[in-house]
């Protein structure tokens, strides 16, 4: 296995343009030895809170890695439930190519889910704003109420239930 990942420009997903993130997503899938994805249902996020849901989705992603890793690098200050040795790294998506790659996979996966949800709920414009609380998204919630994928505990949504 190579010790250097053959894809350049990998960085924190928040620092990349959507076009660059899509390109890197494909390249990471081409070259990564393992990719795991964890998705938590919006109702579960409401039930457990966003931090616990984030950690749970990281745990799920780690469990979905095949081959299983020898060691986990976790973005942030919290660890996840796992029998695998791990290290939490604050701002890890800016310091580790593995964490940055995971952030790109996670962000692009979420964006693609939002584009798919846009087909079911076109009145909300999910393909454009990806679920972020833009003015247009807030206006759509005011006009149409909440749909099943809205996180009902979040500000800007719970006021319109």
pLDDT tens column, 105-147 = 999 999 999 999 999 999 999 999 999 999 999 999 999 999 9
Q: Are residues 105 and 127 in the same domain?
A: no
Kindly state the helix (H) or strand (E) to which residue 43 belongs, with its residue range. Answer: helix 42-48
The residue ranges of the chain whose pLDDT is under 70 are 1-3
Select from 13, 49, 3, 80 the least CA-distant residue to 153: 49
Same domain, 108 and 151: no
Return the structure tokens found at 22.
């899509």
Q: How many domains does the chain have?
A: 2
Q: From start to end of 1-108, where are the E strands?
A: 72-75, 86-89
Give yes or no: residues 79 and 135 share one domain. Answer: no
Same domain, 104 and 141: no
- What is the pLDDT at residue 3? 66
């Amino acid at each position: 296995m190579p010790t250097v990942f053959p894809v350049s420009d990998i960085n924190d997903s928040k620092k990349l343009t959507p076009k660059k993130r899509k390109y890197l997503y494909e390249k990471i899938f081409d070259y990564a030895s393992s990719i795991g994805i964890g998705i938590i249902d919006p109702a579960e996020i409401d039930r457990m809170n966003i931090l616990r849901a984030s950690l749970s989705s990281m745990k799920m992603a780690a469990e979905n890695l095949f081959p299983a890793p020898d060691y986990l690098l976790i973005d942030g200050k919290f660890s996840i439930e796992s029998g695998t040795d791990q290290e939490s790294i604050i701002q890890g998506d800016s310091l580790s190519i593995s964490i940055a790659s995971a952030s790109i996979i996670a962000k692009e996966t979420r964006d693609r889910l939002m584009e798919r949800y846009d087909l079911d709920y076109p009145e909300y414009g999910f393909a454009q704003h990806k679920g972020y609380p833009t003015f247009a998204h807030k206006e759509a919630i005011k006009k149409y109420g909440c749909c099943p994928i809205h996180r009902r505990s979040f500000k800007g949504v719970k006021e319109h239930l």
